[in-house]
Structure 1
C-alpha cells in the first residue's frame, strides 16, 4: 500500500494536484508483483522565475527510488519525474533479473511488464553498468575541510577519505546547488 506525503514549498497542494500525483505514481505499481508497502515523499516547489520542481522519494525494502525534475509547468515536472522513476525501475529490474535469476525471491519482486504493443519489455541497458576503470589509492587521515580542498584541487565532484577525528571512511561531494555534502559511513 502506498502512503503519500505531499508537501508544497511556495505552493498550496490542492486536491487536484494531490490526485494528479497519486494517479501518476500509482502507474509505477505495475512494475512490482504486489503493491509495495511504502511511503511516497513528494516535494513540490515553485520558484519566482516561473519554474516548478517536483521531487519524489520512495524508500522500498530493496532500493530507494528518488528523482527530481524542473520545468516551467508543475504538472509537466510531475510527469517528467515519474518518467524518470519508471526508467530507474526498468534499469534496476533488468540488473536484478540478470544477476539473480536463480534467486526466486529477488526476481519475484518485479513483475513482467507488457508494453503497449503487446511485447514483454526487453532486458536492455546492461552495457552502461560495465566498470571500465579501477583505481586504488591509500586513504589519508584528514579533516572534512581538507578533503573538500583536495577534491577541488583534483577537479572531482567527490572525494573519499579517512576522517582523522572519527577514523571512519567518509565521502565529501559537490551538490547541485554548489555547496558541499559529507557522507559518513559506519
Structure 2
C-alpha cells in the first residue's frame, strides 16, 4: 500500500506519522487490496477554537475510492476517529464481497469444487453425479431395483415413453411415483 501523509498549516512530526501508519496498517486485515491511501492533516482554527481536521482517501482495487473526513480538538483523537470510521466502511465492503458474490464467481467456485478431490469436499456440499439410465425401464422393474437397494431412497429412470420418472420410498413404507 502506498501511503502519503501531508500536513497543511501544520508541521508533521515522526511520532504523528508513525501513529498514522500504525492505524492504516490495521485496515489491511479486511483483505480489500488497498492500492494507496492519502492522509491530509490540517490545523483548523475557526471562531477562536483550535482543532485538527483529518481527511483520509483510500483507493481500493476494483471497488473504488473511500473518502472520510473528521475534526477534533486533539490530533490523536481525530486520527483514531478516522481509523474507526474507515474500519467500519471496509468491514462493510468486505462483508459485501463475502455474502453477495457475483454469479460468475459462484459458478467458478462450484466448478472448482466439482473438480476437487473427494477428500476436500465437506459433508454439506452437493457433489454432482451423472445419471446412469442406459435403457428405459418399466415401472415394475424400477420398483424391484429400488426394493433390492437397501440404502436407496429413490430411483430416477426413463420409462417406456422416454419420460423421466422418479420412484421413491415414503415414510409409511409405501412407494411414490413422479
- Output the TM-score relative to the length of structure 2: 0.53
Q: Distance in 2 between matches of 1:45 and 1:19?
A: 17
Gaps of 5+ in 1: 108-186
Q: CA offsets per residue over residues 47-70 of structure 1, 9 Å max, x none? A: 122111111111111222221111
Alignment match, 2:21: 22
Alignment match, 2:79: 78
Q: CA offsets per residue over residues 99-122 of structure 1, 9 Å max, x none? A: 216526xx9xxxxxxxxxxxxxxx
Runs of 4+ in 1 over 3 A off after TM superposition: none
Gaps of 5+ in 2: 110-178
Give the number of aligned pairs.
102
Q: Which has the higher helix share?
A: 2
Task: Give secondary structure in 2 for the equivalent of 1:13.
Answer: coil
Q: CA offsets per residue over residues 75-110 of structure 1, 9 Å max, x none? A: 100000010010001112222222216526xx9xxx
Q: CA offsets per residue over residues 106-150 of structure 1, 9 Å max, x none? A: x9xxxxxxxxxxxxxxxxxxxxxxxxxxxxxxxxxxxxxxxxxxx
Alignment match, 1:46: 43
Alignment match, 1:60: 60
- Output the TM-score relative to the length of structure 1: 0.50
- Computing the radius of gyration from Cα coordinates, the structure with the larger value is 2
Q: Distance in 2 between matches of 1:32 and 1:26?
A: 11
